[in-house]
């Protein structure tokens, strides 16, 4: 069985993330979306909230699971017996960052292959950071996230004001 991980902070999960997950789910027997518990960035949602939002978003994808993890991504990959890591690329800046991480991961865990999927053109610009900013300023975010995420995000940014 070929197992792949798709790691990230997913704060929150977007339609761009779902596009990558849906496409990756067709390539592997099992895809595990790994929600990183403690990234070095300011998060709007707790790990528990991010996991739940992601689980609801992938409910129609039978071979996709969502799990949280801490520590090195390669240790998570080893723990779940993944052979491949999936990443989405939006622009050249993503490539440079992913390349650096891939080279480090290759040195630490040579058996883990990296598969990068190009973002769908309609999501090239989309990031969780931009999404949160648009939501906090009252922007229409319905085309960028699943309905359940939009509702929770609106409530969350409203409560932070």
Q: 30-36 and 64-69 as β-strands: parallel, antiparallel, unpaired?
A: parallel
Which residues are designated catalytic? 17, 41, 90, 128
Strand order through the sheet with 113-118: 64-69, 30-36, 3-8, 84-89, 113-118
Strand partners for 65: 32
Kindly give, in sequence order, each residue whose CB lies less than 8 Å from that of residue 91, ignoring residues fewer than 6 positions away.
Answer: 124
Residue holding tokens 């300023």? 137
């Amino acid at each position: 069985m070929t197992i792949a991980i798709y790691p990230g902070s997913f704060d929150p999960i977007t339609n761009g993330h779902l596009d990558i997950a849906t496409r990756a789910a067709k390539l592997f027997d099992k895809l595990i979306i790994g929600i990183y518990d403690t990234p070095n960035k300011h998060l709007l949602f707790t790990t528990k909230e991010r996991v739940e939002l992601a689980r609801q978003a992938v409910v129609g994808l039978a071979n996709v699971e969502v799990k949280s993890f801490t520590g090195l991504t390669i240790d998570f990959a080893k723990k779940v017996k993944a052979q491949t890591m999936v990443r989405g690329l939006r622009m050249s800046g993503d490539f440079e960052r992913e390349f650096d991480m891939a080279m480090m991961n290759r040195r630490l865990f040579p058996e883990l292959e990296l598969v990068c999927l190009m973002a769908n053109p309609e999501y090239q610009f989309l990031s969780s950071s931009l999404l949160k900013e648009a939501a906090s300023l009252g922007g229409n975010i319905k085309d960028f996230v699943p309905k359940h995420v939009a509702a929770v995000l609106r409530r969350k940014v409203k409560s932070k004001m």
